[in-house]
Structure 1
Amino acid sequence: MHLIVTEKNITARKIAQLLLGSAKERKVDGVSVYEGDDTAVVGLSGHIVNIDFPDEYNNWQSTAPKDLIWANTEMRYTQKKIATALKKLAKEATHVTIATDFDREGELIGVEAYHIIKDAAPAAKFDRARYSAITRQEIEHAFANTVPIDFDLAAAGEARQKIDLVWGAALTRYISLTCGRLGNSFLSVGRVQTPLLALIVDREKDIKAFTPTPYWEIYATFTNGEEFVAGHTGNRFTEKAKAEGIMARLGRTGKVADYKKEPRVEYPPIPFSTTEFIRAAASIGFSAANAMRIAENLYVNGWISYPRTDNTVYPASLNLKEIVAQFAGGEFGKYAQRLLEQSSFKPTRGKKETTDHPPIYPVASARKSEIKADEWRVYELVVSRFFATLAPPAEYEVRNVCVDVNGERFKATGSMLSTPGYRLYYPYGMAKEELLPELSVGQELAVKNAAMDEKLTKPPVRYGQGKLVKMMEDLGLGTKSTRHEAIQKLYARNYVHGNPPVPTNTAFAVVGALEKYADLITKPDMTSRLESDMDSIAEGKIKEEAVVQESQGMLETIFDDLDKNHNDIREVLYEGLREDRRIGKCPSCGKDLYVRKSKKGGRFIGCEGYPECNFILPLPRMGTIIVTEKNCDKHGISHIRIVNGGSKPWDLGCPQCNYEEWQKKNAAEKVTPVRKSSEPAKKPARKTTKKKAADDKGAPLVKS
C-alpha cells in the first residue's frame, strides 16, 4: 500500500480527491483515512509529538529556573489517536510519501510522522512530495517528482523548538516567581516575543516623552476662475511674530513665478511575500494573525498558493499568462481580459528570491458567493496584487506652481492619473487626485483669502502590525511563519491591547526591568544570531546540537545578570505591576484607586485608604481587565477594557459611569406599573434570592 501523510485532514481529503478521483473514507482509531487504488491518504493535526521537560521539572517552586537551561528534554505524544492510526496503517505500507507543508515547520512535522511509521514499518520506502498550491496540476507534478526527506531542514525546526522551550520556560519562571505572578497570571518572556515587546514599549516611551511645540503655517487661496490653495514656502514657522509679519505684507494679487507640467511614473508593486502580504492586509484592517489565518484557509481550499514564503520573484516555471486566463470568465473577467491583451508579461521582482515557494498568487478563480466575506476581501487583495505585478506602470501628470505675493512665495502641487497602468487593478493606497488649473509664468492671480494656522508638532506614531512584521524581518526576529504569532502572543499575554498595539503598564514593568538589568533579552542581536544559525542547520553547515548548546550558553550569561540584580528587578516589577492596577483617584478621600481581588476571587475597584475609606466599584467577573490611557472627563478615572479569549474586546468605559448607569436602570425596573383591568394577571416569578437577582442584573459584586 502507498501511504500518503499530509499536515491536516482537510489537505488529505483534497489531495485524495485530486489523485484518486473518488476516495472512500474510513476511520482508523477515529482518524479519517481516504482510500482508493491501493493508496491511503491520512492527515495529521500539525505536530503530533511535542518536546517538553520531564515531569520532575514541572513544579515551579522546587525547580530553580536556571536549572532548566541544561535540563534534559523528552518527546511526548500530543495526538495519541493519530500516532496509533499511523502505526496501524504503517503495517500495510510498503511506500510512504510525506506530503506536509514544505517549510521548516512542515518538514519537522513530516519527520515526526516518519519516525513513528519507520518504527512500525522499517522496510517501507520513504519519499517527499513538495508543492506550493493544492491544485490538480501542482499535486500531480509533486507526486510524479518526489524528493528525499530533508532531515537538515527538519533539524532546524527542532532546534527552534528546543531553544524556544528552554528560553521561554526558564525566563518566564524567573520573572513570574520574582514578582509572585503565578498560575494563569504568569508573566511570559521569550526569545522573540520580548525583543518585539521592547520595540513597542520603547516607541511608547518616545510618545510619552514627546513635548508638543507650536508652529504656524500660512496658506493662500488663489483664483483665476478656478481656485487652488498653496502653502508658504517657509513651511513651518516656529515664531508667531514672523508669521504675522508675513501675513501683514500679503497683498490682494499674486504673480505666477514658476509653473511646470511633467509626467511622473509610479511603478507596480513587487509580488507578495508573507511580510508584504501582511503589510497590505493590515492597511485594509486585518490583524497579522487574522490575515494569516484567512490566507491559510484560502490555501488549503485551493484558492491561493502557500502563504508562508520569503520569495518576491515569480519562478520561470510559473505560467503567468495561463494563471490570468483562468479569471477571464469570472468575477475579475474584465481585468483579466485587459491583461491578456498585453503583448507580453514582464512581472515585477523584489530583492528576495528563494527556491522553496513562489510569491503568494491566486491559483484558481473563485466567485464571491463561494467564500466568506472576510476571505473574499483577502482573496481579492491577492488577485489584485498578482494582476498589478504583471501590469505596466501608472503615469500621472504632475503640475507645480510657485506664486509670488509681494515677495512671499507660495507653492502647490497637483497630480492626476493620466495612464492607469497597474492602478486599474490595484487601487489600494492610491493617493487622492488633485490637479492644478492651467497657468503660465507671469500670470496674475487674485488672492481670495489668506490664513495663518496654529498647529502643534505631533509625537511619533505607534507601530502598526504590518510595520512590526517588517521591522522583525529586517532585525532577524522570528521567521515568515512565526512573526504574526509572536504579535498575537503579546495580545494573549495582555502585554498589549488595541490596534495598533498599545503596551500595558505590565509590559513597561517587564521591559523596563530587563532593559536595565539584563538587556541582552530585549535586544534582537542574540535572537538574530540564533535565527542565522538555524538557517545554517537547514543548509547542513552546522549541527543542531551545536546551536542548541550555543543558545544555552547565551541564556546562562543572561541568568548571571538576572541573579546579580534580583532584588532590583523585583522592585521594578512590583512597582510596574502596581501601576498597572491603578485606575485613578478616589472621589471620597483622594487616595489612589486600584483593581483588587476579593477573598473569593471576585474583582472590584477599591481605595488604598481602606479600611478608613470604603469606596468600592464593581467589575465584571470574567475576562482580563486592561486599564487604558483614556480618562473619564467626569470622574477622572481610567477607562477599562475587558479582554476575553478570542472574543472581541469589550470597552466598558469608566467603571463609575457604568455603575451609575446600572443604578439608574435598576431603579427604573423597580417601579411597578399599574395593571389595567383588561390585562391578564402575570404568573408570579420563581422566588429568587436577593444575591442571585442582583448578579443576574449585573449588580456589583460588593456593596458600595
Structure 2
Amino acid sequence: MKLYIAEKPSLGRAIAAALPKPQKNHKTHIELANGDVVSWCIGHILAQADPEDYDAELKKWRMESLPIVPQQWQLKPIARTRSQLTVLRKLVKQADEIIHAGDPDREGQLLVDEVIDYFKLSKTKKANIKRLLISDLNLPAVKRALTSLKPNSDFMPLSISALARSRADWLYGINLTRAYTLQGQKTGYNSVLSVGRVQTPLLGLVVRREQEISEFVSKPFFQVQAHIALSSKDAVAFTAKWQPSENCQPYCDEEGRVLVKALAENVVKRIANQPATISNIDSNEKQQAAPLPFNLSQLQISAAKQFSMNAKLVLDVCQALYERHKLITYPRSDCRYLPKEQLKQASGIVNTLANSSLPCNKPAQGANTSFVSKAWNDKKITAHHAIIPTEKSPENINLNTFEKNVYLLIVRQYLVQFYPAYIFQQTKVELLIAGGNFMSQAKTEKQLGWQVLFPKSNKTNNQSKLEHGQEQEQTLPPLTKGQLLHCQQGELIEKHTSPPQSFTDATLLGAMTGISRYVNDAAIKKVLKETDGLGTDATRAGIIDLLFKRGFLQRQGKAITATKVGVALITALPTMATLPDMTAQWEATLTAISEKNANYLSFMQPLTVIVNEMVQGASQQSFSGLPKVAFKPKRGKRTFQKKAVKKAS
C-alpha cells in the first residue's frame, strides 16, 4: 500500500482527485481503488514539549530554574488533532511505501517529517520515502507533480533547518519570556512579557522609529532654481537646480543641503539675467525590465500600499485563493522566480485570463507568451516558485473584494512577464551660470512596454514628487554642448527637513524583508543585503499580528506605533535582544543549513551560550517604565476585515 501524507485535508483531497477511482472518503483519510491511501495532517499535529513535560517542577516560573535546555528534545501530540495522529500511526505501520506531501517550504517539510520520525520507522522504510511537491491544487498540475516524485532524503537539509529554527525559538522564547516576565512582576506588571528572536527586534524597530520622530527637530534648508530660456527674448524653456560647490560645504549639512539663507539669496541675485552655458550633456537610452512575479512578502507590501490590507489579511486571502478557489499557486513562497517548465502552461493561463470578464482580460489579450522574461530561471528555484495564477478560470467564482483585489495583483504581476521592456531616454544637462554649476534632468519615454499595465497620471506622479521634496518631471528642448542660453531669473526655494515616517503595514513588511538597512555589523549587512530578512515570508504576518495581540503595538490610522508596554519592554531589554543583527544572522545560518553549507550543531551550540548569558543578565534590567496593567488593543479594521474573509470563505 502507498500512503500519501498531505499537510492538510484540502491538499489531501486534491491529491486523491488525481488518483484512481472509485474512492472511499473517510473523515481522516481516502481509500483508493487500487488499495492506496491518502491521509493528512491538520497543520502541525505535534508540538515541542512544554518545560513541565521534561520536569514537573518547571511548571512554576522561577529565575533559579533558568535557563531550561532540554538534553533530549521531545515532541507531544496536540490535543485537538490527537485522533488524526492515531489514524496516521496505523496507516504508516500498514504502508509499504510513504509519499511525503507537505507544503513545498521549510515548515511543510518538517511538519510531515516530524510525524514520520515520531512513529520511529525502520531505516529501510524511511530511506524509501518519496517527496511530492505541489504548488498548484488544480487537477492538471497535481497530475504533473505525481509524475515527478523525488527522494525525500534530498530535502533533509530543509527539514533540519526548520527543526533548528523550531528549537531555537523554543529556547530563546521560553527562557527569555520567563526571565523578563518575572522581572516585570517585581514592578507590579500583571501580564506576560513575551520575548522572541524575531518579534522583539521587530518591536525594537518600531520603538526606535517613534523615538527618532519624537526627538526630531526640523531645520530649514534652501535651494536655488534657475529659469532658463533659449535666449533673452524667449519664454522659459526649463529650470535647472544649483549644485553647491566644495567652497559651500561649510554652510551645508551632511546631505549637501544649504542651511544659510544668505548664501542662497546671493546666488539668486548673481544669476539673474545672465548667460547660461551648457557645459555637459549626458543622454542615454535605458531599459527597465518588468518587475518579477510576487513572493508572499512583496505581495503583502503591494496590497498594503494599494488597498491598506495588513499582512495577516493578505495571507488569509491568499490561502482562500489557493485552497478554496484554486486560482493561485502555493502562496507562502519566498521565491520570485519560475521554473522554465512552467512556460508550457503560460499560454493556457494567459488565454484563460484573456477570456474572463475581469479587468485583467485586455492586458492578457495584449500579452505575448513567446516573450520570456528573466523570471524563468531554474537556478533560482528551490522547493517552490513565485505566486502566479493557475489555469483555472476565475469566471463564475464569487470572490469578495479582498480576494478579487489580491488575485488581480497576482495576475498583473504575472502578465507583465509577457510584455517588452520599458524604454526611455534619460538626459542630464549641466550648465555654468555666473561661475555656479546647475543641473537639469529630463526623461523621455520611448516605449511604455510593461508599464501600460501600471497607468498613472502625470498630476498624481508630480504631486508625489513634490511631497517627497523631488523636482517635477520636465521636458528639455534640443540642446548641444557649449550652447549659450539665458538665465532669466533665479528662484529661492525654502524647504524644511522632515522627520522619518511612522511605520505602516507596507513599510514594516519592507523593513523585515530589507533588514540589512537596520543591521549595524558591516559583515552581516553584506550577507543579508540580497538574501535574508527578519523572519520568513510564511511567518512575517503572524509575527506582526502577535505583537498587536500582546499589546506591544497599536494602530493610529495607518501608522503602526508602540504602546507604553512595548516601549518599556524594549527599554528594559539588553540592546542585542532588540536589534535585528543577531536574529538576522540566525536566519542566514538557517538558510545555510538548508543549502548544506552549515550544520545543526554550529547553530544550536552558540545559541545555547547566548541564551544563558541573556538570562543571567535579566536580573540586572530595570522595568520601572512598565504600567501596572497590560495594554488591550481595540477591535479595529483588521478584525472587521478578518471576519469579512471568513464570511466569504
| Bin of the TM-score, shorter chain as denominator length | 0.7 to 0.9
Q: Which moved more, 1:167-176 or 1:413-422?
A: 413-422
1:624 aligns with 2:602: no
Counterpart residue identity of residue 387, structure 2: I
Cα 1:87–1:206 shift into 2, 3 Å? same
Q: Which moved more, 1:435-444 or 1:100-109?
A: 435-444
| Alignment of 1:205 onto 2:211 | yes
**Offset at 1:87?**
3.7
1:105 is aligned to 2:133:
no
Structure 1 residue 347, shift from structure 2 partner: 2.6
Report the TM-score, using the length of structure 1 for normalisation: 0.70
Q: Match for residue 657 of structure 1?
A: none
Which residue number corresponds to residue 315 of structure 1?
Answer: 339
1:600 matched to which residue of 2? none
Measure how far apart 1:62 and its partner are: 4.6
One-letter amino acid matched to 2:43: G
Structure 1 residues 72 and 457: CA distance shift in structure 2, 3 A: same
Asked if 1:562 is matched to 2:618, the reply is yes
Task: Give, in whole Å, the separation in 2 of the partners of 1:101 and 1:19.
Answer: 19
Contact kept, 8 Å, 1:288 with 1:465, in 2: the verdict is no
- Residue 174 of structure 1 and its aligned partner are, at CA, apart by 0.9
What residue in structure 2 maps to residue 353 of structure 1? 380
Quote the residue 2:83 is aligned against.
81
Partner Cα separation in structure 1 for residue 13 and residue 586 of structure 2: 37
1:294 to 317, 322, 325: 317
SS in 2 for 1:145: coil
Asked whether the 8 Å contact 2:317–2:406 carries over to 1, the reply is yes
Match of 2:220 among 176, 195, 214: 214
| Equivalent residue for 1:237, pick from 258, 264, 274 | 258
Q: Tell me, what secondary structure is at the counterpart of 2:618?
A: helix
- Deviation string 1:432-459 (CA, Å, 9 cap, x unpaired) is 5944264657687795x87544321112
Match of 1:638 in 2: none
CA deviation profile, 1:383-410 (whole Å, cap 9, x unmatched): 2222323432211244556788877776
TM-superposed CA distance for 1:168, in Å, is 0.3
Counterparts of 1:471-620 in structure 2 under 5 Å? 471-472=514-515, 474=529, 477-498=534-555, 499-515=558-574, 519-535=575-591, 537-538=593-594, 544=600, 547-563=603-619, 566=620, 569-570=621-622, 573-574=623-624, 576-578=625-627
Q: Does the C-alpha gap of structure 1 residues 172 and 131 become closer, same or farther in structure 2, counting only changes over 3 Å?
A: same
Question: Alignment partner of 1:175: what SS?
Answer: helix
Q: Distance in 2 between matches of 1:368 and 1:436?
A: 44
Q: Deviations over 1:49-70 (max 9, x none)?
A: 1012235255344564514235
Mark the CA change 1:107 to 1:82 in structure 2 (over 3 Å): closer, same or farther.
same
- CA drift of 1:172 comes to 0.7
C-alpha contact 2:4 2:37 (8 A) present in aligned 1: yes
What's the secondary structure of 2:573's corresponding residue?
helix
Matched, 1:393 2:401: no
CA distance in 2, matches of 1:73, 1:646: 37
Question: Which of 1 and 2 has higher RCO (CA within 8 Å, sep 6+)?
Answer: 2
Seen in structure 2, the aligned counterparts of structure 1 residues 324 and 49 have a Cα distance that, compared at 3 Å, is same
Is contact 2:225-2:490 (8 Å) kept?
A: yes
Mark the CA change 1:339 to 1:182 in structure 2 (over 3 Å): closer, same or farther. farther
For 1:295, the aligned partner's letter is C
Distance (Å, rounded) in 2 between the aligned partners of 1:349 and 1:319: 8
SS of 1:185 mapped into structure 2 = coil
- Cα distance 1:249–1:536, how it changes in 2: closer, same or farther (>3 A)? closer
Q: Is residue 388–residue 411 contact of structure 2 (8 Å, CA) maintained in 1?
A: yes
Q: Aligned residue for 1:47?
A: 44
| Deviations 1:337-368, CA, capped at 9 Å, x for gaps | 433275x4243579982432223332225437
Number of the residue aligned with 1:363: 390
- Residue 607 of structure 1 corresponds to none
| Counterparts in 2 of 1:551 and 1:247: CA distance versus 1, 3 Å | closer
Specify whether residues 21 and 240 from structure 1 end up closer, same or farther in structure 2 by C-alpha distance, changes over 3 A only.
Answer: farther
Question: Which amino acid letter does the alignment assign opposite residue 485 of structure 1?
Answer: G
Residues 652-679 of structure 1: CA deviation (Å, up to 9, x unaligned): xxxxxxxxxxxxxxxxxxxxxxxxxxxx
**Equivalent of residue 129 in structure 1, options 121, 127, 132:** 132
CA contact (8 A) 1:102 1:131 kept: yes
Contact (CA 8 Å) 2:276, 2:484: kept in 1 or not? yes
Residues 256 and 14 (structure 1 numbering): CA distance in 2 closer, same or farther, change over 3 Å? farther
Q: Relative to 1, partners in 2 of residues 1:244 and 1:350: Cα closer, same or farther, differing over 3 Å?
A: farther
Residues 1:368 and 1:203: Cα distance change in structure 2 (over 3 Å): farther
For the residues of structure 1 that align with 2:509 and 2:457, how far apart are their CA atoms?
14
* Aligned match of 1:419: 447
Match of 1:329 among 355, 358, 363: 355
User: Do the aligned partners of 1:477 and 1:527 also contact (CA within 8 Å) in 2?
Assistant: yes
CA root-mean-square deviation: 4.1
Q: Does the 8 A contact of 1:108 with 1:157 survive in 2?
A: yes
Q: Specify whether residues 305 and 232 from structure 1 end up closer, same or farther in structure 2 by C-alpha distance, changes over 3 A only.
A: same
Q: Which of residues 155, 168, 182 in structure 1 aligns to 2:160?
A: 155
State the 1:163 CA deviation: 1.7
Q: Amino acid of the residue matched to residue 10 of structure 1?
A: S
**Structure 2, gaps ≥5 residues long:** 245-255, 463-471, 516-527, 642-649
Tell me the equivalent position of 1:142: 145
Taking a change above 3 Å as real, the CA distance of residues 278 and 254 of structure 1, as seen in their structure-2 partners, is: farther
Which residue pairs with 2:35 in the alignment? 38
- Larger mean Cα displacement after TM superposition, 72-81 or 317-326: 317-326
* Residue-by-residue CA offset, 1:662-703 (whole Å, 9 max, x unaligned): xxxxxxxxxxxxxxxxxxxxxxxxxxxxxxxxxxxxxxxxxx
Number of residue equivalences: 577
How far is 1:45 from its partner? 1.7
Conserved in 2, the CA contact under 8 Å of 1:476 and 1:524?
no
CA distance in 2 between partners of 1:18 and 1:417 (Å):
49
**Superposition deviation, residue 423 in structure 1:** 1.1
Say if 2:475 is the partner of 1:436: yes
Q: What is the distance in 1 between the residues matched to 2:237 and 2:401?
A: 42
Q: Highest Rg: 1 or 2? A: 1
Task: Kindly indicate which of the two structures has a greater share of residues assigned to strand.
Answer: 1
Does the 8 Å contact 1:134/1:302 carry over to 2?
yes
Q: Distance in 1 between matches of 2:287 and 2:66?
A: 58
Deviation of 1:103 (Å): 1.9
**In the aligned structure 1, how far is the partner of 2:7 from the partner of 2:289?**
39
Q: Closer, same or farther in 2 for the Cα pair 1:75/1:453, shift >3 Å?
A: same
Task: State which of 408, 419, 437 in structure 2 corresponds to 1:380.
Answer: 408
1:83–1:457 distance in 2 versus 1, CA, 3 Å: same
Structure 1 position 624, deviation (Å): 1.2
Unaligned runs of 5+ in 1: 579-595, 598-602, 604-622, 626-641, 650-704
Shift in Å, 1:77: 1.3
Contact 2:226/2:271 (<8 A) preserved: no
The 2-side partners of 1:114 and 1:170 are apart by: 29
The one-letter code of the counterpart of 2:48 is I
Aligned mates of 2:302, 2:637 — CA distance in 1: 26
1:475-496 CA-to-partner distances (Å, cap 9, x unmatched) read 6543333234333322222222
Q: TM-score, normalised by structure 2?
A: 0.76
Distance 2:595 2:5 in 1: 24
Matched, 1:267 2:259: no
Deviation at 1:47, TM superposition (A): 0.4
Amino acid at match of 1:283: K
Question: The residue matched to 1:455 in structure 2 has which SS?
Answer: strand
Residue 327 of structure 2 corresponds to 303
1:647 CA displacement = 1.9
Match of 2:366 in 1: 338
CA drift of 1:101 comes to 0.5
